[in-house]
């Protein structure tokens, strides 16, 4: 049973908070198969032939001097010159986009994943989002919360309130940069207003709002998806009767499939491109007493410390969504793939460190990194991704200098 629903009878009713989730939704249009008209001068694949005429054309045109044209090719299959030959074709799907609001009565300890699960169970079962908590795939529920990529299962309502109070205090003090040196691009007029969280005990979890009860709101309530500035979560806080507002949108940098679900295949393809597996010599190590150790490779603790934190990467895509350069892996292979490469480059047991540096020393590798260091701000595993990117750039530059001197 969901933790929000399970704790509703045990917790203090006065501690409940009225939460409004503004979800950026997307419903794709059905894809229609468009068959390219066959040409008598080009060879047609037998797989696409559906009639004896096409079969005869395919068999009789094998010696044609004209290039072969595949019926499955589409004008959208062209990719960036920086992408690998087997890169996943990233394409913006057409469909219906709108913003939908859901009102819930939650506790400060509830996570945003709890809230979404309660919405699908009691309000709107058509809301789509990805999660695999408790199923052996951690990190699959990454979305953008108030414009910041993070995980649904680790973000609680109390954390959002604390973040908004910290932002309010910073703006009141006249600061324009956060603790990491990043400036907000939104207007501070609405954010400077005091933040108020109103306990609300009369609203049940299953009571939808006027906009939440309909899965297809009118056109007047539609907003663009990822095309403008994210609404400030505290913009309605001036009125003490207004609830806490949180905006959820798909993870930036990835093609949206439906609602909060994005296509993460390009990220995994780029990780696989760098061969994230240990390449050891296979020699049997010996222990201190001279016996053969056939179970594991012997490694000193300081050698393990060089890559142990990198091995905790769960490939959630939060660093990819935070990176201003990455966009589906076309012009930049992405920080997730580079972290996978750094994990084995720093491993003393791996014998292919030089070839791994060759693989990332490309136009879409470390050369495309601009060292913004936004990729490590929200890493749920505590990896300083920006520092690791800088270490890789330093290693590649040192290798170039050694090659020139040799």
Domain termination site, one of 225, 258, 291: 258
Rounded to a whole number of angstroms, the CA Rg of the chain reads 26
Q: What is the CATH number of the domain that holds 149?
A: 3.10.20.30
Average of per-residue pLDDT values in the chain: 74
Range of the domain at 217: 3-28+92-258
Residues 97, 214, single domain; the answer is: yes
- In the 8-state DSSP scheme, what is residue 14? G
Secondary structure in 3-state letters for 220-282: HHCCCCCCCCCCCCCCCCCCCCCCEEEEEECCCCCCEEECCEECCHHHHHHHHHCCCCCCCCC
Tens digits of per-residue pLDDT, 351-399? 999 999 999 999 999 999 998 999 999 999 999 999 999 999 999 999 8
Domain tally, the chain? 2
Domain termination site, one of 243, 258, 273: 258
Residues 203, 275, single domain; the answer is: no
Sign of CA dihedral 86, 87, 88, 91: negative
Closest CA to 345 of 383, 395, 401: 395
Residues 194, 292, single domain; the answer is: no
Confidence of residue 223 (pLDDT cuts 50, 70, 90): very low
Residues 269, 252, single domain; the answer is: no
Tens digits of per-residue pLDDT, 98-151? 999 999 999 999 999 999 999 999 999 999 999 988 776 688 999 999 999 999
**Would the pTM of this model clear 0.85, i.e. be above it?**
no
Domain termination site, one of 195, 225, 258: 258
Tens digits of per-residue pLDDT, 61-80? 444 443 343 333 334 434 44
Q: What's the average model confidence in pLDDT over 196-212? A: 39
Answer yes or no: is 178 within a domain. Answer: yes
Give the distance between the most distant pair of CA atoms in the chain: 81
Answer yes or no: is 116 within a domain. Answer: yes
């Amino acid at each position: 049973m969901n933790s929000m629903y399970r704790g509703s009878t045990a917790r203090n009713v006065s501690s409940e908070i009225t939460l409004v989730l503004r979800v950026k939704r997307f419903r794709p249009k059905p894809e229609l198969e468009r068959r390219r008209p066959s040409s008598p001068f080009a060879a047609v694949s037998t797989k696409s032939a559906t009639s004896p005429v096409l079969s005869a054309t395919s068999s009789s045109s094998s010696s044609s001097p004209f290039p072969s044209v595949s019926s499955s090719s589409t004008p959208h299959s062209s990719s960036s010159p920086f992408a690998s030959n087997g890169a996943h074709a990233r394409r913006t799907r057409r469909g219906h986009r709108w913003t939908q609001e859901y009102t819930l009565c939650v506790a400060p300890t509830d996570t945003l994943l709890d809230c979404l699960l309660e919405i699908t169970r009691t309000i709107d079962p058509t809301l789509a989002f990805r999660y695999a908590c408790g199923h052996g795939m951690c990190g699959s529920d990454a979305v953008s919360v108030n414009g910041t990529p993070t995980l649904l299962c680790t973000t609680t309502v109390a954390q959002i309130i604390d973040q908004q109070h910290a932002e309010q205090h910073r703006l009141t003090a006249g600061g324009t940069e956060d603790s990491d040196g990043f400036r907000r691009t939104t207007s501070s007029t609405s954010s400077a207003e005091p933040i108020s969280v109103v306990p609300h005990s009369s609203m049940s979890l299953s009571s939808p709002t006027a906009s939440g009860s309909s899965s297809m709101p009118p056109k007047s309530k539609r907003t663009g998806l990822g095309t403008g500035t994210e609404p400030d979560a505290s913009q309605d806080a001036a009125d003490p009767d207004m609830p806490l507002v949180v905006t959820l949108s798909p993870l930036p940098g990835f093609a949206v499939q439906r609602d909060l679900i994005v296509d993460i295949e390009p990220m995994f393809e780029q990780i696989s491109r760098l061969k994230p597996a240990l390449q050891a010599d296979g020699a049997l190590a010996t222990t201190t007493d001279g016996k053969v150790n056939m179970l594991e490779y012997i490694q000193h603790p300081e050698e393990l410390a060089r890559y142990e934190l990198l091995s905790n990467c769960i490939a959630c895509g939060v660093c990819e969504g935070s990176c201003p350069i990455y966009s589906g892996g076309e012009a930049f292979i992405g920080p997730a793939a580079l972290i996978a490469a750094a994990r084995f480059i720093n491993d003393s047991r791996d014998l292919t460190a030089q070839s791994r540096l060759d693989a990332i020393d490309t136009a879409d590798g470390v050369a495309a990194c601009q060292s913004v260091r936004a990729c490590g701000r929200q890493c749920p595993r505590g990896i300083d991704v920006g520092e690791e990117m800088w270490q890789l750039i330093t290693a590649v530059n040192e290798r170039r200098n050694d090659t020139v001197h040799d």
